Homo-oligomer: A and B are copies of this chain.
Amino acid sequence: MSPDDVDGLLARTRFSDEGLVPAIAQQWDTREVLMMAWMSRETMRETLETGRAVYYSRSRQERWAKGDTSGHTQSVHEVHLDCDGDTVLLLVDQQGGACHTGDLTCFDADAIVLTIEGDS
């Protein structure tokens, strides 16, 4: 993408008072939601410019290039900004498991199915 596109998307993104925006990573082909993490303006720019997902670790208070330790990188295919500009959706190609536990997604381990009246 062109530098203008990067600047435009960043200008439309509403970062929090902490300077962060939540980013949802979704596997582009299976559409599984893999994880949710945070991006600073700088790591969002790096993601857009390099095509590799780079987040900001709130616990470590530092740039977090996904996969640097695990090898489980994310190639970014598409970046969507939501209607009020305060959430990012990334369509990615995940290498290996997205979760530090080894699971494919961070949402695999703790799930509850609701029984809804009227459903069969």
Contact = CB atoms under 8 A, between A and B. Distances in A.
B77 A113 contact: yes
A1 to B, nearest CB: 6
A5 B112 contact: yes
Nearest to A47: B114
Interface in A99-120: 99-101, 103, 106-117, 119
Interface size class of A (residues with CB under 8 A): 35 or more
Contacts of A48: 112, 114
B80 A116 contact: no
Contact of A111 (B80, B101, B103, B108): B80
A22 interface: yes
